[in-house]
């Protein structure tokens, strides 16, 4: 059984289904006060009602945001900061898969925007509060899919003319791990840890936005997938377990540390991705310097 989170505030993105929902349910059961970032408020309200109906449950608040839209990420972050004088855990979980090239309203390829830039932007906007609340933890849901690619295509980030979902999704998951690695270096000595994880092949709603074929394929494969509860186990472990207190910059699967691909251990690429992410999110130098020990 993981440690009690009574008196702790945990923020979770993508919490209304799949791994995110299972993560929110477990953290709530440990006594955490939850801030749930969700795109669909109706589903969010249903989850909130379910969670607070449990005996001894701490409060649950909802923050509406489409994480593909940077202005909405910023608004949600401002609302979270106004609501919580302390934030002890941030779980970046929300993600998408697209079979065709699409852009966000910010002009960025959608998968990279949601799966990486939303992690980066929300984390950076909440980072001072996390540091003030230390010891605190950041958990980034990545994937073994990072091994689909040999590096970040900095010169062709969106692959508009050569789009392939495995390449684009894999790149976004590689970005999660590189971001985790760079942020861990920059947070040394602050009491805030950051780790990434592979949840496994999980039966969730990921990819069901891509039409009838994808829904049928996912339905056929679902019996071979792990349940969301099993898939969330490593997220929950990293968010709450005393066993990983002080551990940072690492990659986990099945609650154990693993070594990611060589591309995911490239410090030069991690720094380049950091600088690119800062530009693409419009973070100025003052905000980008919120991390101590910047290299």
Cis peptide before 135 (omega within 30 of 0): yes
Alpha helices in the chain (DSSP H): 18-29, 41-52, 70-83, 110-112, 118-132, 165-186, 212-221, 228-231, 233-240, 267-280, 285-288
Burial (CB < 10 A; 0-12, 13-18, 19+), residue 47, is buried
Non-local (6+) Cβ contacts of 79 within 8 A are 63
Q: End-to-end distance of the chain based on CA atoms, in angstroms?
A: 38
Asked if 119 is an active-site residue, the reply is no
How does strand 256-258 pair with strand 251-253?
Answer: antiparallel
Q: Which entry of 84, 101, 119, 169 is annotated as an active-site residue?
A: 169
Q: Catalytic residue numbers?
A: 169
């Amino acid at each position: 059984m993981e440690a009690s989170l009574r008196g702790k505030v945990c923020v979770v993105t993508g919490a209304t289904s799949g791994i995110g929902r299972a993560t929110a349910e477990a953290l709530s059961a440990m006594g955490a006060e939850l801030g749930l970032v969700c795109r669909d408020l109706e589903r969010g309200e249903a989850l909130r009602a379910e969670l607070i109906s449990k005996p001894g449950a701490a409060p649950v608040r909802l923050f509406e945001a489409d994480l593909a839209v940077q202005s909405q990420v910023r608004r949600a972050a401002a609302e979270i900061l106004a609501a919580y004088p302390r934030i002890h855990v941030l779980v970046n979980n929300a993600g998408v898969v697209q079979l065709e090239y699409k852009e966000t309203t910010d002009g960025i390829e959608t998968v990279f925007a949601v799966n990486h830039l939303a992690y980066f932007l929300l984390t950076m906007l909440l980072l001072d509060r996390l540091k003030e609340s230390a010891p605190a933890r950041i958990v980034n849901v990545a994937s073994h899919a990072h091994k689909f690619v040999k590096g970040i295509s900095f010169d062709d980030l969106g692959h508009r003319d050569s789009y392939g979902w495995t390449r684009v999704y894999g790149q976004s998951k590689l970005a999660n791990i590189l971001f985790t690695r760079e942020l861990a270096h920059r947070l040394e000595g602050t009491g805030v840890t950051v780790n990434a994880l592979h949840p496994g092949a999980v039966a969730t709603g990921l990819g069901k936005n891509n039409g009838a074929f994808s829904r049928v394929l996912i339905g056929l494969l679902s019996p071979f997938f792990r349940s969301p509860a099993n898939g969330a186990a490593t997220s929950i472990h990293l968010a709450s377990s005393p066993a990983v207190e002080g551990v940072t910059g690492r990659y986990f699967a099945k609650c154990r540390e693993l070594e990611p691909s060589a591309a995911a251990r490239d410090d030069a690429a991690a720094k380049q991705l950091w600088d690119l992410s800062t530009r693409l999110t419009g973070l100025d130098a003052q905000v980008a310097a919120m991390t101590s020990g910047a290299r």
